[in-house]
Structure 1
Amino acid sequence: MCFTEPEIDYLATQLVGRLATVGRRGAQVRPVAFRLNEDGTIDIGGPDITAGAEYRNVRERPDREVALVVDDTAPASGAPRPARGRGRRVEVRGRAETLTLDEPPLRPESFAREVIRIHPRTVASWNVDPDRPDGTRAAG
């Protein structure tokens, strides 16, 4: 697993991330649902992910790197509060592929069997892990 325990806990509390891909018209950023898998990969999805530009961009350019940012400014109750004016963030960069799974990774009404799977290469987090308040590291 390429994530620290505090990063795993943080990602489990978040519902939406922002996925950046590159397509024919340049860079695109879209809000997306996601799930962190036990092996450290991340599945991106939604009820009809295949209709979106992000799915098409990854399918047409599987060798391109993508980035997922999950962030907030108001932590959940009981979580360590970031310094005033600073939020929390996890950024993941890596290779992505499109897949069709046997079962939807989450509730079928909110997540289809088709997903974008990110294989992280680098992870950076800010104000999430007290042992690593700022910084980037290789995911491997």
Structure 2
Amino acid sequence: MPPTHAFTPAERAYLAAQPLARLATTGPDGGPQVRPVGFVVNEDDTIDIGGPALSRSQKYRNAQARPEVSLVIDDMAPADDPVAAGWGRGVEIRGRAEVLTLDAPPMAPDFFSAEVIRIHPRRIISWHLEPDDGRARARNVDRFSR
């Protein structure tokens, strides 16, 4: 049986083409914190978020203390896009964060530290990436929910 992936081929292609996302965490006072972040999608469909001196950041401490997070990657489709010309499109990934130190940064090795926030997707919502009826596609990702 072939392996199943959390992301559709269209979502994976879109994510690979995007350089920037916004990570939402919950701060110590219970309020939201949203920050722009660099990211990569791993072969196992987890997402690594990096940054310079990441372990000293509030987003890292938030993810460590309250690991339920959301990551949004979106943009405006170009005017010649065959699916959603001129419309907003994107992917939201809700999941559980894990803080790790890798042997090397997964991106920008001359600038980013080896610490990452790794997101294990639990719910994926995408819009205007594939022909559809105008509604977002939402689904749970059971293999990461355990």
Q: What is residue 10 of structure 1 aligned with on the other side?
A: 14
Shift of 1:103: 1.7
Q: What is residue 93 of structure 1 aligned with on the other side?
A: 94
Q: What is residue 66 of structure 1 aligned with on the other side?
A: 69
Q: Distance in 2 between matches of 1:28 and 1:89?
A: 20
Q: Distance in 1 between matches of 2:70 and 2:113?
A: 21
CA RMSD of aligned residues (A): 2.0
* Equivalent runs, 1:1-140 vs 2, <5 Å: 1-25=5-29, 26-62=31-67, 65-75=68-78, 80-84=82-86, 86-130=87-131, 134-140=136-142
- Aligned residues, how many? 136
Q: Distance in 2 between matches of 1:106 and 1:79?
A: 28
Distance 1:125 1:55, change over 3 A: same
Single out whichever of 126-135 and 6-15 deviates more from structure 2: 126-135
Q: Any conservation in 1 of the 2:20–2:73 contact (CA below 8 Å)?
A: yes
* Amino acid across the alignment from 1:10: Y
Q: Any conservation in 2 of the 1:4–1:129 contact (CA below 8 Å)?
A: no
Distance 1:78 1:51, change over 3 A: farther
Shift of 1:47: 1.9
Percent identity, aligned pairs only?
Answer: 54
Q: Which has the higher contact order (CA 8 A, sep 6+)?
A: 1
Q: Which secondary structure state, in structure 1, belongs to the residue aligned with residue 13 of structure 2?
A: helix
* Amino acid across the alignment from 2:35: R
Q: Which secondary structure state, in structure 2, belongs to the residue aligned with residue 55 of structure 1?
A: helix
Larger Rg computed on CA atoms: 2
Distance 1:57 1:129, change over 3 A: same
Q: TM-score, normalised by structure 2?
A: 0.84
Shift of 1:132: 8.3
Shift of 1:15: 0.5
Q: TM-score, normalised by structure 1?
A: 0.87
